[in-house]
Amino acid sequence: MLVALAPITLKDGTHIPAGSRISWAAHHHRNDPTVTPEPARFDPLRSYRKRHASPDNMNKHLAGQTSTDNLSFGRGKLACPGRAFSVGEIKRILARLVEQFAFKFPEGKARPKNLYADENVFPDPGGRLW
């Protein structure tokens, strides 16, 4: 989320007044069925299958790869320059957690509901794991 410090008019004529909060609907974009088929269904191999669908897709659908369907790290000239490093670090952290710990929700509890703050989506930090 950004805050416009000064008024600005974009190339297409859109005027953004000073003090405006600027963001985009990341959660809604990623959960649009035209972008992600069956978005509510957990599918850990979704991108893997897309990559292996044809030889032309082997370098597409990667975690840090930008496209109009994956704007998590930006797009074009303004794409995050550290996205490859970030993806590598996230993978290392998750691998260590999965390798060294076992996780489960307390008896009778399920995954906490999502919370939203601007473009960010995260589980309720009050939720508990064993």
Same domain, 52 and 22: no
pLDDT digits (tens, 9 = 90+) for 120-130: 888 899 989 88
Instruction: Note whether 94 and 114 are same-domain residues.
Output: yes
Instruction: Specify whether 50 is located in the same domain as 18.
Output: no
Domain region containing 120:
88-130
User: Which residues 6+ apart lie within 8 Å of 59 measured at CB?
Assistant: 65
Contact 23, 119 (CB under 8 A): yes
Report the b/e string of 85-115 with b at 16+ CB within 10 A: eebeeeeeeeeeeeeeeeeeeeeeeeeeeee
The total of structural domains in the chain comes to 3
Same domain, 117 and 130: yes
**CA 78 to mean position of chain CA atoms:** 16
Compare 93 and 26 and report the one with higher pLDDT: 93
For residues 51 and 30, state if they share a domain: no
The per-residue pLDDT of the chain, averaged, comes to 90
Say what the pLDDT of residue 22 is: 86
Q: What is the pLDDT of residue 68?
A: 84
When pLDDT is averaged across residues 18-29 and rounded to a whole number, the result is: 86
Mean pLDDT of 37-47: 91
Residue 85 pLDDT > 90, yes or no? yes
User: Same domain, yes or no, for 94 and 77?
Assistant: no
